[in-house]
Structures are given as C-alpha cells and as structure tokens.
A and B are shown apart, each in its own frame.
Chain A
Amino acid sequence: MDILVLINTIITVCTYAVALFFLIAIVRSFLRTKKIQDALVYCIIMVPFILRLLRLK
C-alpha cells in the first residue's frame, strides 16, 4: 500500500472517531445545560457530525 493511502486511511478512521467523540460531548452538554439558547446551539451543531458519521455529507 502506498504511504499516502495508508496515511489517508488512518486519518479517515481517526476523523470518524473524533466526530463521534464530539457528538457524544455535544449531546452530553445538550442534556446538561439549563440555558435555552445553549440547548438550541447544541442542537444545530450536532447536525454536521451526524451527517458525517452516517456518511451522507
């Protein structure tokens, strides 16, 4: 396997892991927050992480 392909594969796997980590952190913050504005913001910023994890975008 070409070194560039190997590096890309590792980075891609890491990226999905990072996306999952941040999604969990956002969901946790969403559940814990007492501020309505923060809750709305957490809702919105979940979207790209979910779309990425589902490999839709």
Chain B
Amino acid sequence: MDKKLNLIKSIALCVIAFCMAVAGYLFWEHRNYKEPVVVSEYITEVKKLSDYSDVVKGTVNDSNVYIFDSGVEGGTFLIWGSTHPEEPAGVMAASLMVENLKVTQGKVIIIDRENNSASTNTRVGEAYPRFFTYETEWGTKIWRFGDRHANQLDSWPDPEVYIHYPSGQTLANVDIRNTNRNWPGKANGLLTERTNYAVMELIRQEGVDMTLDFHEAELEYTVENTIVVHEKGQAVAAMVSMDLTANTFDVPVGMEFSPTALHGLSHREVGDYSDAASYLVEVAEPMLDRIRGITDEELLMSGKDRFVMMAGDRGLLYAPIDENGWPIEKRVARHIAVATKIIEVNNTVNPDQVITIEGIPTYEEIMANGLAPYYHNPATAPAERVYYD
C-alpha cells in the first residue's frame, strides 16, 4: 500500500510541478518582457525618470524619458502613455511619436510607460491576454498588456482606505496603485505616489508648459471621446475639440472641465501643482465594457463586439458603435491628432510657447496606411537607437 501511495504522490508532484513551471514561466515572461523602441533619428536625449528624482531609482517605474529638444526657444510639451496599460492606444500612440518625431522649435518630452509596473500586472478573473501585437512588414511588434493598477509584487498591501495626498480625499483602496489617482505624488509614499512625484519633478525641472495623458474608456462610461482639461488649458482644448470635430473626426471629440473637487487625477493636480496646463484625452475601447463577449486580443485590437453593439442599439452607451467597431488604428490616430492639434492651437493662443514638429502622420494618413509604416524594425535599426521599455 505504501509503495502504491508513494508512487501516486510522486506522479502528482510531477504533474503539479510541470503545471506550475508552465504557469510560472508565463508569469515570468509577462513580467520581464522588454518592449523595443526604435527612437527617431532626431531624438536629442533619453533619460530615466530617476534623473529627475531618485525616489524611483531602482524600481520598475524608473521609466525611459524621451526628449526631443530643437534647441530653438519655444514651448515644452510632455506627453505620456500607459498610465493605464489596459488602454493600449496610449502606449501605441506614445511609441509612434517617439519613433517618428522631429521637433524644429521648442521641446517635446515623451514617456511611453508612465506606470510600468501596471503593465506587468493583469486583472484577476477577467481573462486578459498577456500581450498585444501589431503586424508590420518586418514582423510582429509586441507590447505587454496590463491593468490599471501597479503590480502587487511591487506595491502591497493596499490600505483599507486610500487617503489621497495632499487633499485628504478618501478613495477606493486599490487606487493607491492607480497612477491616475495619486497626482501630484508623494516623495516618501508608495511606488505609484513616488512615480508621480518624479514626473512632477520632471515637469518643474524641464519647465513644461503643457502635459497630455493618453487614455481609453469603456463605452458605458460618461467620460468618453473627450478632452478633460484644467482651467489653464480650456481655451486651447475648446478650439481643438471644435476643429477636430468639424474637420477631421467622424465621431466628435468633446471637451470637459476638470472637476475642482475630484483629486488625484492628472488633469486636476498637474495643473494645480505646476505651471503646466494639463490635458487628458479619452477614446472608446469596447474591450473595457462590462457587457463584452470573449475577451481576447482580437477584441482589444478590432474594437468589435456584438454585445456592446446591442447595447448601443438600445441607446445604453455614451459613444456610437457599429459593425466596424473601434479599431486600434482609429483610436491611436485620434490620440495623435489631438496631440498635434493641441500644439497647433497652443501656438496661436500662447505665442511664447511655440512648438513646431514634423514626421508625425495625420489622422487621415494613419486611417489610410494603418500603423505598420510608423513602427521600425529593432533588429535592423542602429543599436544606439534601440531602447527598451
């Protein structure tokens, strides 16, 4: 009997060890995959966030900071993606700009992965894919797909109630790991608070005039296809909204005031705690909707879902959707168009902050060509132009 028992135990251990090794490798791969970025030939410098504040030094959130300085006096624009890594248009738009941008006046600074830790996480019980991909002529470009909260392996446990610093406003406990709930950050706080503190230091030290935070939102959510803006940027945002809605987009982009009493969000706190005008842009992402069907990369990239469409037919959504869905090309193109239009309008509203750029495709060009022509092959690019996020 003992011999038989020991045999069964040994077999069970082997089976479990095999399953654990497979699962462990998948977790490890997701946490350690590095995304190559072939920076534009016109980039002037690549720094780390810890160059502005050492509170993130040695952490997963010591992100790359891509700097395009024309050397000609003008404005300074900071753009970041991946505050919420489950909103892929953000990191894809930021990467596209890093790979193609040329600045001829003023300075543009880009962070692809604002909350790197969150891109190594997933949402429990939601069956999120680990990665998302885009096919190009040279091969497949791969990004990590994450969650809106930093990885518990990097910041844990969460407090029973998250008390925002410095306002004292109480928020959901998990939002301590959400970088869009703890601006302007805290030098001696938890990981996400320190991350935002370091970005605020970047804003102050570089003399940033405008910031833009790329997001996506479910169609069931009211803040959708819109620019949320601090008081300092309202004139520019209003013009951007009207211009793009009238001349470029098939679905309007709105403009909303940043609520003064809702704390922790970039559009409120960055404007309040720095000289910069803070903007945040949202675009529709059907995969975030609770009523979606199968949750996979296909839905993520195509933005097509028959259940979300059915909700739309019944007037339950805050954005239109049809059989064409919300493809990733359209979502990225809208982000890029908003960024470039903010620069264009700000140049007229604030002539002391002029920025001129080249190399970034228009909305129409992205819709016609897709995204593939704008991402470059890291295998054939000069080594000094390849960085990893």
Contacts and interface: CB of A to CB of B under 8 A. Distances in A.
Contact of B186 (A2, A34, A50): A2
A55 B152 CA distance: 10
A54 B16 contact: no
A56 B9 contact: no
Interface in B102-118: none
Contacts of B12: 39-40, 43
B28 interface: yes
B382 interface: no
A27 B8 CA distance: 15
Nearest to B190: A5
B247 to A, nearest CB: 48
Interface string A38-57: 01100110110011001111
Contact of A56 (B28, B155, B190): B28
Interface residues of B, number: 23
Interface of A: 1-2, 4-5, 8, 11-12, 15, 30, 34, 36, 39-40, 43-44, 46-47, 50-51, 54-57
Contacts of B251: none
Given A44-B16, A46-B16, A56-B27, A8 B9 contact: no
A39 B8 CA distance: 9
Interface string B351-369: 0000000000000000000
Contact of B24 (A30, A36, A56): A56
11 contacts: A1-B188, A2-B186, A4-B190, A8-B156, A8-B157, A36-B5, A43-B13, A50-B20, A51-B23, A51-B24, A57-B23
Nearest to B27: A56
A34 to B, nearest CB: 7
Nearest to B4: A36
Pick the most buried of A2, A5, A57: most chain B CB atoms within 10 A of its CB: A57
Contacts of A36: 5, 8
A8 B194 CA distance: 15
A41 B269 CA distance: 50
Given A12-B156, A43-B13, A5 B189 contact: yes
Contact of B27 (A5, A8, A57): A57
A40 B14 CA distance: 11
A19 to B, nearest CB: 12
Nearest to B159: A4
B153 interface: yes
Nearest to A57: B27
Contacts of B159: 4
A12 B27 contact: no
Given A1-B188, A8-B156, 10 more contacts: A5-B189, A5-B190, A15-B156, A34-B5, A36-B5, A43-B9, A43-B15, A47-B16, A47-B20, A56-B31
Given A34-B5, A39-B8, A11 B157 contact: yes
- Ranked nearest first, the 5 interchain pairs of A and B with the lowest CB-CB distance are A2-B188, A56-B27, A43-B16, A43-B12, A56-B24
Interface string B118-158: 00000000000000000000000000000000000101110
B167 to A, nearest CB: 16
B9 A39 contact: yes
Contacts of B15: 43
A39 B16 CA distance: 12
B192 to A, nearest CB: 12
B20 A51 contact: yes
Contacts of A40: 12
Contacts of B13: 43
Pick the most buried of B8, B9, B155: most chain A CB atoms within 10 A of its CB: B9
